[in-house]
Structure 1
């Protein structure tokens, strides 16, 4: 049963990465061109959009890789190890990085909202940073719990 559930999660990790790759290939250039059209005074904004979105993809895929490693540790019965704690810590830092990069892009969403007179665009711009921070907090909580479980396990091993 455990192998089936981790296999399902591994497939899910891969399937999460595919749409993000498609978005990077097809949607990010369109967003950059749209930014250049909406804000012709700031022609360089197109490149800022590219840098922000493509820079946030790097920690995203690194976090997916760390999640995949964590699932391998679970398969090998090494879930309660320092390697798992390190993977969760790296996932936490990746999520914080993604959130910070997208917060830096928020002024662009404000400019779009101001140009089109649609204040809801700013709220849409807050979705990714908020989701990333939720993931970072969740990973931090799991990391702390796992550290405590490892400490308890090592104390029990020393007691026997």
Structure 2
């Protein structure tokens, strides 16, 4: 396969990473300050919001890295290998981790929903999208593993 055939996907993954980094730098502090301003008696809510949002960004970036590795395997014509299966498995685990973190953080969203009702919907969308990605990665992982098994059986019969 040509080396640049996955260039568009690599650029898209990098742009998504830059966008999320910008959100972490500019939007997360605003959200944390908003949570602290809701009620001055519990202004300490700012810190759990920081911890929760940045903790969810860590597996996201690991999953993006695995996606870039998978695209490089495709460029190197080693897409049908165990390392590709491992990359898909890692993407699946990171997506599940993001879903679990956001599900655990839903009480924070509920707390902030008094003044911004749509924030619960945003949390649910992130949970659902992460689960969809996890299921999709699991299906691709299984299909790729079966293709590798069929390929190895064909190599042995020839």
* Alignment TM-score, normalising by the size of structure 2: 0.94
**CA positional deviation for 1:127:** 1.0
Preserved CA contact (<8 Å) 2:5 2:75:
no
Q: Which residue of 2 aligns with 1:125?
A: 123
- State how 1:1-160 maps to structure 2 within 5 Å: 2-113=2-113, 115-116=114-115, 119-160=117-158
CA RMSD of aligned residues (A): 1.4
Deviations 1:66-88 (CA, angstroms, capped at 9, x unpaired): 00000110011000000000000
**Unaligned stretches of 5+ residues in structure 1:** none
Q: Write the deviation string for residues 61-107 of structure 1: whole angstroms up to 9, x where unpaired.
A: 11111000001100110000000000000000000111111111111
SS of 2:36's equivalent? helix
User: Residues of 2 paired with 1:148 and 1:56: CA distance?
Assistant: 32
Measure, in 1, the Cα distance between the counterparts of 2:42 and 2:104: 16
Q: Which runs of 5+ in 2 are unaligned?
A: none
